[in-house]
Amino acid sequence: MSGVMTGKSTVDYDGVYKGFPVTFEAKSFKGKSFPLKNIKDHQIQDLQDSKKHGGKAFLLIHSADTDNVFLVTVDMMEY
């Protein structure tokens, strides 16, 4: 096995911090807006599943142009 992933990956981080389950996906963009198509359906599902099981689930979105970081919780997402 060469170490190359061949299937869909999950989210960028799925673990525990200070005893709390945490799941997040990190994205970065240039320009004036973040294209929602950059978040895959299976990543949203992973975040929703984590939330259902009591975890903290969110997106971290970095604007390369302004160097701002936005935290978007699963509860804030429309799906």
Q: Are 11 and 45 spatial neighbours (Cβ–Cβ below 8 Å)? A: no
The H-or-E segment that residue 45 falls in is helix 41-52
Backbone angles phi, psi at 44, to 5 degrees: -60, -45
Say which residue, 2 or 25, is predicted with more confidence: 25
User: Over 90: is that where the pLDDT of 7 sits?
Assistant: no
Domain ranges of the chain: 23-76
Q: pTM for the full model?
A: 0.81
Q: Tell me: the pLDDT tens digits for 8-46?
A: 668 999 999 999 899 999 999 999 999 888 999 999 999
The tens digit of pLDDT for each residue in 44-71 reads 999 999 999 999 999 999 999 999 999 9
